[in-house]
A and B are shown apart, each in its own frame.
Chain A
Amino acid sequence: MADDIIVNRDDWTLHRKGHLDQTRHKEKVEEVIKQQMGDLIVDESIILTDGKKSTKIPMRSLEEFRFRYDFNKQNHTGQGTKKMSPGDILGRDQGKGKGKGGAGSGAGEEPGQDIYEAEVTYEDLANILFEELKLPNLDDKKRPLIAHDRPEFNDVRKKGLMANVDKKRTLLESIKRQAFSRKQDKDAKLKISPEDLRFKTWETRPNFETNAVILAMMDTSGSMGQFEKYISRTFFFWMVRFLRLKYENVEMRFLAHHTEAKEVTEEEFFTRGESGGTRCSSVYRYALDLIEREYPPAHYNIYPVHFTDGDNIGSDNTRALTLMKNLVEVSQIVGYGEILRTHYSSTLMSTLKRISDPKLRLVTIRDRNEVYDALKTVFS
C-alpha cells in the first residue's frame, strides 16, 4: 500500500473565515447604503406602501475594479446545441446597468456580470437610519396623569382566594406529603388536603408607560403642492417610526392650517389641498390649546413639527414668534421645516431664528434628498 496517500478528517466547526469576510462585505454594502441614504429614505416604494415593500439599489462600488475589456465590444465564443450560422440572434441585451459601462448580460451565462443588486428592506434602512439619530431631551419620568396600577403575580402563599389557586404547586405539595407519610400504598389515589393548597398572590405596581405625542402641523395654503406634502409625509413617516422605538405609545395628531387651523385626519392631511393665505400663529395657538387640554407636558413628551413654505403674512410674525416660544417651552423638541424651491429664506424663518433655545430645530429643505439631513438635524 502506498503510504503517501493520507485521508483525514478534522473538526472544521471553528473555521469561520469566510463568514468573517462576508460580514465585512456586508458592512461595505451598508456603507454604500448610508451614502445613498438621502435618496433611499424618500423612496416612494417605501413611503407609499407604509414600509411593506423593499427597494432595490445597484451597488457599483462593491465591484472589484480592474483593467478589463469592454464586454459589449468583445467578440465571444459560445457553444450551441445545434449548428449556428452567422446572423442568428442569441438574445437581447437586457439593458441591465444601462448607461455608462453597463455590465453586459444578454447572452445568458456570460462572465463579467458583476452588478451587485442589493435589496434593501424597510427594516435595513430603519436600522441604519436610526443608528444615526438620537432623541434629545428624552424624559422617561413623564407618565400619564392616572398611572394605572398593574397587578403582578410574583409570590405564592398558603392562604388566598380560591380563584387564584396554584394547581401545579398544590399538586406538588400533595405528592410530597404523601411520599413522606409512606402509609399509602402505591396505587392509592392522590388526595389533596387543605394544607396542600397554595395560592398565587400579587403585588400592585404602578405602570411605567412613557408616552409621546407628535403634533404634525402643515401649511395647507394654496402654495403647498404635491412635492411639499410628500416631503413632510416622508419626514413624519420616519419620525413616527423612530419615536416608537423610544416610547411605548406614540400618538399623532394632524393639524392643518392656512389662516385658520383645524384638526384633520391623516388622509386629509396629506391629500387635501386648500387655498388662501398663511397665518402660522393660528396653528401654534391651536397646538398650545390642544396641549393644555389633552397632553399635560408633565406627562407627555411632546414633539410639534411644522412644515410650511414660509410664506407667512408679515403682520403675523410677531405673534407667531411669541406662541412658538411658548410651544418650545412645553415640548421636547420643536421642528420647523421650510420647504423652499427658491434660495430665499422667509421672514418667518428669520424671525424664529431669534429663539435661541436649542430645542427649536430649524431646517430648510430644497431637494428631496435633504429629508435625511433634516431628520438628522432634528434628532441629534
Chain B
Amino acid sequence: MDNEMRALNTMAQDIAQVARGMGLDFYPVNFEIVPAEALYTFGAYGMPVRFTHWSFGKAFYRMKLQYDLNLSRIYELVINTNPAYAFLLEGNRLIQNKLVIGHVYAHVDFFKNNHYFSRTPKDMVERMSAHADRIHAYEIRYGRDKVEQVMDAVLAIQEHVDYRSHIGPVQESDNQPKFIVRDKEERHSCQGNACTGKCPGNSASQSKGSRQKTRQNSISSPYEDLWEDLLDDECESPSQQEFEDLLLYIIKFAPGLEEWQKDIVSIVREESLYFYPQIETKIINEGWATFWHAKIMRELDLTDAESLEFAVMHSQVVQPSRLGLNPYYLGVKIWDYLAKEKTIDELFELRETENDLSFIRNHLSKKLVEDLNLFNFRKVGAHWQVTENEWEKVRDNLVKQLVNGGHPRIVVLEGDYEGKGGLYLKHCHEGTDLDIVYLEKTLTLVQSLWGKSVALETIVDGKKYIYESSNRIVSRRLAGKTQGNDET
C-alpha cells in the first residue's frame, strides 16, 4: 500500500468514527479506488458485474462522453449491500474524497435503516454476478440474438413488478398470480380516471389469506420463497381481478415461453425489485447524504484552503439546475429545513420511514416552495408555460410524478382474452395519457414474450381505447365497440 492509499485509509477510518459519533449507523464499507472507465461502467450497469445488454453500453457511452467533455462527473457510487461497496473516482483530491466518504457513509446509513430497503438482498453483488453467468450461458447455448430479443422485451416492462408487496421486514410471500378469465359482466372494478390504485381487487390487500398460510414456512431468504412453494400456492380470493406483477404473471402463464426465457424474466424481475427502492428514495437519500457530508465536514479540522475547496464543491453538488429539479438540491433543502425544527432523533426516524413521495408530501412546505421558486409548467400550444405556483399545487404535482416511481400503473386483467389466450392489460389512468408511440412499440415487445396477442386498455384525450398487438401489428379501437378497428 503506497502512501496515498495509507492516508486515504486512515482518513476513511477517522471519518467513520466521526460519523458514527454523530449517530449514523452504517454497514461495513469497502472502498475501492477505480479509474473513470470503471466507475462509469458501474454507473451505467448499476452494479460492478451485470448481464450484457446494449442499453447499458449506450448509457455507458453517454456518461463517459459527459465525463470526457467535462460536463459532469460522478465522484462516487455506492452499492446497497452488506458490506457496502463504494467506488471512488481515481484522481479525486484528498479534500474531495473527505466529502465523498462522508457522503457514502450517510448513503449506507440510509440503505441500512430505511424501511423501503429492508427486503433488498444484501448479497446482491454475488447474485447479479451469478445472473450474468447464467445469461451468458444462455447466450452460448441459444445464441446472442435470441437472448437479446427476450432481454429487449423484458427490459421494456421491467418496472411493472409488484414492488409494494416487497416492502417491509415481513417474511411473507408475494401475492400470487392467478390465471384470470373474466365474464363480461364481471369486468374490473376501477374505471378510468377514478382509479387511484386503491380500487378493490388491488393485489396487496387481497392476498392476506395466502400470506397467513405461508407465514409458518419461515423463510430465511426473502426471495427464495418466490420460485418454489409460493408460486404453486392457490390464491383464495375469488374477487381478485387485477394482478400488479406483470413479470411474474408472464413467468407463470405465458403460453409459449421456454424455461430459459422464463429464467431471464425472473432475473430481470429480481434485479428490478432490488433497484426499485433506490428509484423511489432518490431525493430523500441524496438529500440525506448531502446534508450529512456537510455536517461531517464541519466536524473535521480543515485548513482554510480545504474549507474553501469544500465550499466550492458542495455548492456545485447542490446547484439548482435550470428548470429541472436537482434531487440533491431539493432533498438537502428539505432536510436543512427539518433540521431547524426537529431533534436529531426525529430526523433519524424520518430517514427510517419516509420515501420520496411521503417526504415531499409531508415536508415540502409553503416556505420551501416559495424560497426555491418552484412552479408547475406544461406545454400550451408550442410553448412551455408556467401554469401554477401555489405551493400546494406544486407539492401535489411533485407527489403525482413520484407515484409508482414515476411509471404508469399497468395491471393484468385477464390471461385468456376473448378466449384466444390473449393477455389483457389495463393502464390505470391517473390523469396523464401515455406516450402512444412508446405504447405501441412496447406492446409488440410484450406480445413477443406472451406469444399470443396482447391488448392494453387506456384513455387518450378522455376516450377509452383498446390497443391490441397481434402478429406484431398494433391496432386501436374505441372500447365499448366490440367490432371493427377504427385505426391501425
Contact = CB atoms under 8 A, between A and B. Distances in A.
Contacts of A319: none
A195 to B, nearest CB: 59
Contacts, number: 249
A86 B386 contact: yes
Interface stretch (A16-24, A42-50, A175-183, A366-374): A16-24
Interface in A71-109: 71-93, 95, 100-101, 104, 106-109
A85 B374 CA distance: 10
Contacts of A106: 379, 383-384
Given A8-B31, A15-B37, A2 B17 contact: yes
B372 A75 contact: no
Interface in A1-44: 1-2, 4-10, 12, 15, 17-28
A107 B37 contact: no
A66 interface: yes
Interface string B397-420: 110110000011010000000000
Contacts of A68: 407-408, 434-435, 438
A86 B438 CA distance: 31
Contacts of A83: 370, 373, 389
Contacts of B31: 5-8
A69 interface: yes
Contact of B322 (A18, A95, A108): A108
Contacts of B385: 87-90
A12 B38 CA distance: 7
A8 to B, nearest CB: 5
A292 to B, nearest CB: 53
Contacts of A116: 58
Interface in B304-343: 320-326, 329-330
Given A12-B37, A20-B57, A92-B383, A78 B375 contact: yes
A67 B375 contact: no
B16 interface: yes
Contacts of A64: 55, 155-156
Interface in B3-28: 5, 8-9, 12-13, 16-17, 20, 28
B209 interface: no
Contacts of B32: 7-10
A70 interface: yes
B151 to A, nearest CB: 11
A88 B385 CA distance: 6
Contacts of A73: 378-379, 432-433
B: contact size bracket: 35 or more
B418 to A, nearest CB: 22
A251 interface: no
A76 B377 contact: yes
Given A21-B56, A78-B377, A108-B324, A65 B28 contact: no
A67 B16 contact: no
Contact of B52 (A12, A20, A71, A89): A20
Contacts of B322: 108-109
A316 to B, nearest CB: 49
A101 B441 CA distance: 12
Interface in A88-147: 88-93, 95, 100-101, 104, 106-111, 116
Interface string B45-66: 1000100111111101100100
Interface string B277-293: 00000000000000000
A62 interface: yes
Nearest to A116: B58
A101 B437 CA distance: 6
B432 A25 contact: no
Contacts of B427: 67
A13 to B, nearest CB: 8
B384 A107 contact: yes
A111 B56 CA distance: 18
B54 A78 contact: no
Contacts of A12: 34-35, 37-38
B41 A75 contact: no
B382 A79 contact: no
Interface in B60-101: 60-61, 64, 83, 90
B193 interface: no
Nearest to B36: A12
7 contacts: A4-B28, A4-B29, A7-B32, A64-B55, A64-B156, A78-B377, A101-B437
Given A18-B44, A91-B384, 16 more contacts: A2-B16, A5-B28, A9-B33, A18-B41, A22-B58, A64-B55, A65-B442, A65-B445, A67-B410, A68-B438, A74-B432, A78-B323, A79-B375, A86-B386, A107-B384, A108-B324
Interface of B: 5, 8-9, 12-13, 16-17, 20, 28-35, 37-38, 40-41, 44-45, 49, 52-58, 60-61, 64, 83, 90, 155-160, 320-326, 329-330, 370, 372-379, 382-389, 394, 397-398, 400-401, 407-408, 410, 427, 432-439, 441-442, 445
Q: Lowest 5 CB-CB distances: which A-B pairs, in order?
A: A21-B57, A101-B437, A4-B28, A18-B41, A18-B60
